[in-house]
Amino acid sequence: MRKKVLIISTSLRKNSNSDALAAAFAEGANEAGHETEHISLMGKTIGFCRGCFACQKTRRCVIHDDAGAIVQKMLAADVLVFATPVYYYEMSGQMKTMLDRANPLFPADYAFRDVYLLAAAADDEETAMDGALKGLEGWIACFPEARLAGTVLGGGVSNAGDIKGHPSLLKAREMGKQA
């Protein structure tokens, strides 16, 4: 079955390691015949959620910036993939802000069922992504039809491009094929 796969890269660094993981996942998903869209938050304007909850009635955020269009794409996607650098053992601030701004999805008839986390970190221990994973799992818990379908950690990478040739790229590609 052909699925709509939305990949959201949250790093603001050019040639980032997490974006390379996202590209590898997209490659695998495309090979499997899925329709993929890759959105980078780089250059996007995404303000902080105000907690007004107007979106729970209108299904649209009162803030008019780039987040609204991304949320609409999230609503229609069958698969969501978040790629983040790990900052202080947590997801990037931009990823957290994007998740918060996806609040209009809470009362909506969302399509996504499978959610993936791709993370790049300087630390090469598998536990390096535990904070990011816990945060995403909390978000997923608010969507009863959705589940965490898989994770990939590209550990031991600090500088842009360090991930080249890393085994996590193959793992992300194979995971994309299974999406």
pLDDT tens per residue, range 3-17: 999 999 999 999 999
What phi, psi does 79 have (nearest 5°)?
Answer: -130, 135
- For residue 34, give every residue at least 6 positions away whose Cβ sits within 8 Å of its Cβ, in sequence order, or none: 2, 3, 4, 5, 79, 176, 179
**DSSP helix, strand, coil percent of the chain (3-state; round to 5):** 40, 20, 40
Cβ(120)–Cβ(17) below 8 Å? yes
pLDDT confidence of residue 55: 95
Q: What mean pLDDT is reported for the chain? A: 97
pLDDT confidence of residue 140: 98
pTM over 0.85: yes
d(CA 87, CA 131): 10
In the numeric block, the tokens 């898989």 are attached to 150
Q: Domains of the chain (ranges plus CATH)?
A: 4-178 (3.40.50.360)
d(CA 90, CA 96): 9
Average pLDDT over residues 110-133: 97
Local confidence band at 144 (pLDDT 50, 70, 90 cut-offs): very high
